[in-house]
Structure formats: C-alpha cells, structure tokens
Amino acid sequence: MMSSNNNNNNDDDEQQQQHQQSNSGEGSKQQQQQQQQQQLATIAPLSTLLPPPHLQTIISSWLQDDVPSHFDVGGYVVGSNIQVAELYMKSDGVIAGIPFFNAVFAACGECVVQWEDKVVEGMGCYGMGPGDKMKLATVTGPVSHLLRGERTALNTLSRCSGVASVSRLCANLAKAVAWHGEVAGTRKTTPGPFRTVEKYGLLVGGASTHRLDLSQMVMLKDNHIWACHGSIEAAVHKARSACGFSCKIEVECQSLDEALLAAKAGANIIMLDNYTLPSKLKEDAKLFKEQYPHVLVEASGGITMETLGEYMCEYVDVISLGMLTQGYNCVDYSLKIVH
C-alpha cells in the first residue's frame, strides 16, 4: 500500500510538471513584463527631478497657448458634467511623461488621473499591430476641463515617449556590446520650456541629458576658439578664470593635435567632432588617452543610431547624438470620453 501511494504521488508530480512546462511559454512574456515593472518600481522616481513650481509654470503657459482669449467656446458646448476619459497607447514605445500628463489635468482643475496598476514610467510596450491599443489610465472630471487639457497632455506624453523610445534603443545597443560609456543627448532641443520634457525623456530612456543649459558646463566650440584669435589655450584659460573650479570645461576638437592642446590647457572633456571615419576617431581617442587618461573623450557630430556602434570603444567615454531630440518618432496616444 505504501509503495502504491508513492507511485501515485510521483504520477501527480509528473503531471504537474508537464502542466507547468506547457504554460511556461505563455507566462514568460508576462513574467518579463512583471520583472521590468518591479525593477522600475525600485528606482527613485525621476519625477522628483521636476520642481513643482517650475512644472506648474510651464504647464500653465502651455494651457494659455490653447486658450489665449477670454472664452473657450468648445468648453461651453460640452458643459461641466462629470465624465470619464480613457487614455490608450496605440503604437510601440517607452511610456514617458507621466508627471507632465498628471500636471496638465491638475492645472485644468477638478480632474483626477488614475493609472492602471501595470503602468510604470519607463515601461517598454512592444508588439502592437494595426488597430491595437492598450489602456493606460482614466481621467475623471468636468468634461470641459478634460477636453481643455486633452491635446496638451497628449502632445507632451507622445513627444516625451518618443525621445525615451529612441534613447532606449541606443542605450540597449551600448549594453549589447558591453560598452561602459554613456549615450547622451545634446542641446539640440525645442526652444523654451519644452526642453525640460525632452531632457526628461532622455533620462527615462536610459541616456544622459548632457548639459541642460549654457550655465551648467562650459563648452568651447569652434566659433569660441576663432573669436579668441584661434587660440585654444587662451579660450580655456579665459573660461577657467570666470567659472572657477566648480565648472567643467569641454573643448570641441577637429583633430588629435587640438585635443592635446585643450587637455594641456586644462580642459576636463574633449569632444572629437565630425569625424567621418569612426576608425580614425577611435585611433585618435586611443592616442589621446595614453597621454591624458583622466580627461573624458566625447564623440559627436553626424552620429546616428545606425552608426552608433562603430564609435564605441574603451577610449570613448561619451557619444552624443542630436537625433535623440531632433529625429524621434512620437508615440501614438489617444484620450477618449467613455460613452
């Protein structure tokens, strides 16, 4: 009897294992998504980078753009009954810009945004086909307020997600080849306060922001050098006399000789700019690092996602791409009143 019971138990265990294996393929995708959500949830939210007074100011200016005069006739037409709208994601990409979306409807007044439990800032959503959509959130409030904030909220979310999506692709390329440098954006952003959204999107996607404005780091480009009579040393010394020890100085260089001059003058970072041959840039970076291993090397100028991998090597610390904030595709979202 004892032997029979053991055999029955073994049969049950085998059946259970087979059942688990048959479901493993179906559950693997869900497990990966859950792991991604858990990892993102353990990171301090990037939204804490956004000072509330600054956020409120820029959101208010955007809403003012849409209603610059005294009357919102569309709002008058729909009235102020409480309605519910649902936010849908309709194309692949990285979800980014949740703090801006929330702030828009907070500024509209009496609106409450409720995100789905599965939705986390920075979460990648892929595999959508034509006509597919995924519900992300509901927004409840007076219908006139919902419609007043709709386009501003969607524009911000779609563009921030676009920057984050292309940044994630580039960051993943770096990880795939085990390159330990940083992929970065540039100052080639939308003028005005929308720069904040694009710089935030870079961070969500896994890229570095580079400098946020002219005061954050001194970058001496070719025009600066020519304005100092072509002297890299004079430009660096003059910059250091003004910014002191607390600010880094970067010099844009077109050759190894210029990079060596900049480092000798005291530059903290040298940018090897507009090299048409990645092999030549890597060769110059190697020779430079042999003399100045403590000075950072940035590669920039005309680099795209397709050529990014060709510039990665142990002698390059940063690769910056203007296309991260200039050539991105927006992620498609829609907000629909439930009826």
Residues forming the active site:
188
Single-letter amino acid, residue 305? M
Task: Tell me how far CA of residue 287 lies from CA of 281, 290, 315, in angstroms.
Answer: 10, 5, 9
Q: What is the full DSSP assignment across 92-130?
A: SEE---HHHHHHHHHHHSS-EEEE-TT--TT-EE----T
Residue 145 in tokens: 């307020």
For residues 225 and 234, what is the distance between their CA atoms, to the nearest angstrom? 8
Do the Cβ atoms of 304 and 274 come closer than 8 Å? Answer: no
Amino acid occupying residue 73:
V
DSSP letter string over 127-155?
---TT--EEEEEEEEEHHHHHHHHHHHHH
